[in-house]
Every structure is written in structure tokens, then in C-alpha cells.
Amino acid sequence: MSSGIVYLVGAGPGDPDLLTLRAHRLLQRCDALVHDALVPLELLELLPEGCAVHPVGKRRGHHSVPQPSTNELLVELAGRHRCIVRLKGGDPFLFGRGGEEAAYLASHGIAVEVVPGVTAGIAAPAYAGIPVTHRRAGSSVTFVTGHEEIDKDRAGVDWRGLARSSDGLVIYMGLHNLRRIAEELLAGGLAAETPAAVIQQGSVSGQRLLIAPLAELADAADAQQISAPAIVVVGQVVAERVEACAPLPAPVTMPQPLG
């Protein structure tokens, strides 16, 4: 059995100041780091000298390391190092495959600890001044992936059902399928004028905000050339935006996609 411990660590949405103290301490003493693409390079400056760094980022349209290879890499590193940090954007257990990696490591007798992180679904709207819940506009919010291709063996998202069951939607990885998502939500009963927003690169330099009625959102995103990574917010909470409370995005450097 390996003596190493793998820490599944959330890096937050991009602004290095949103890194947790626990994550900061682990980065300062880890022997090996395995990190995703959406992790600012400024965080790598915290690593001790001699730390082995392994980028395994995934981005649409670029070469990426397959998940089984990442799982095997973590097992291998746990056999050679005592402290391994698996650094993921946002929170490791929210659309980050952290649960899969934890289960794989546990099945190989490797100790795992999860360090939660600030998720982009809350932080990106906050940096745009949008509350994801509001007493006047929404008492429920649903976090959902818009990347339908992520798992062909899983049933697709019931967007029409979500249109009827949640006051607000926060959609991760939904930009590529935005037009179809909007059409399904409209078919599910949401009004064409429902407020909606897309936040590109939330919390970091390059942040852009687009607000439009749901029926016009996809056309507006195309016209303004909004690109990933982006968070989509749908619901009356968008109309409660308070620009004055939005913090300034942080100037950071993101790693280049592999390949």
C-alpha cells in the first residue's frame, strides 16, 4: 500500500485570492502537482523547489489527457511521493470528476483528502454583481452542466423539466450548446423575456458580461464573440444585478491548452 496521500484540491474560479488557506498550505509543501488547464499560473509560484508538475488540462478543441491516464498517474505518483496535490479549477466535486478520481484512488488503497474550493457557478456571477439567489427573485437554484457530450452513457439533461422546477439555473460548460439549451428552456415554459447572462472568464482579467433576454441570448453571444470558459445564468436573479458590489477581476495568466 502506498504511503502517499493525494489531496483533491479546489483552486477556485481563477482569482488567486480566492484560494483557501488549506489549499495554499498544501501547495507550499507538496512533492507533486497534477493540475487542470483552468488553474492560474500564479498558483504554481507557491510550489516548493523540486516539486514535480504534471499538467493534465482538458479544453474543447485541444488535445487533452484522457481521464484513465490521469487516474493512473495519480496512483503512480502516490507510490513515489508523500504529498500529491491534484489541483482542479473551482471545486473538485462539482463537475470536476473529483468523485471518480477519489473512488479510483481508494480502490487502489491510496489515502485521499478533499479540499473544497470556491466554484465558478457562484463566484463568476458574484464578480458580475449577480446574486444566484434572491428573496424577491428566486429561492432555488440549480447547478447543471451544459456539456452534453461529457458522458454518452448518461441520460441528457431534462432542460424542459428544469424550466419548470427551478427559479434559477447556473449552467457550466454550456456555451457550445447555448442555442439548443435556450430553445429547450423556452419549450419548457420559460418566457422569451426571461433575464439571462453569460459571464466569460469570471473573476479574472478578460472577464466579460453579456445580459440579454433568454430568447436572444445565443444570437447575442455569437454577435459579441463570447468564448469559453463561461458561466450562464438564467432567471429573474439576473435582473437583481448590482454592479456596485462586483469586485474587480484579477490579472492572472492561464496555462496554454495542450497540443
Catalytically active residues are 36, 58, 173
For cell 450562464, what's the residue? 232
Q: Percentages helix, strand, coil for the chain, rounded to the nearest 5?
A: 35, 25, 45
Taking Cα atoms as reference points, which of 94, 114, 95 lies closest to residue 103?
114
Instruction: For residue 18, give the DSSP letter.
Output: G
Residue 83 near residue 4 (C-beta atoms within 8 A): yes
| 173 grid coordinates | 460548460
Amino acid identity of residue 13, one-letter, is P
Q: How many CB atoms are located within 10 Å of the residue 65 CB?
A: 18
Strand order in the sheet with 5-10: 52-55, 32-35, 83-88, 5-10, 111-115
Peptide bond preceding 125 in cis form (omega within 30 of 0): no
Give the CA distances from residue 160 to residues 156, 163, 166, in Å, rounded to whole numbers and listed in that order: 11, 5, 11
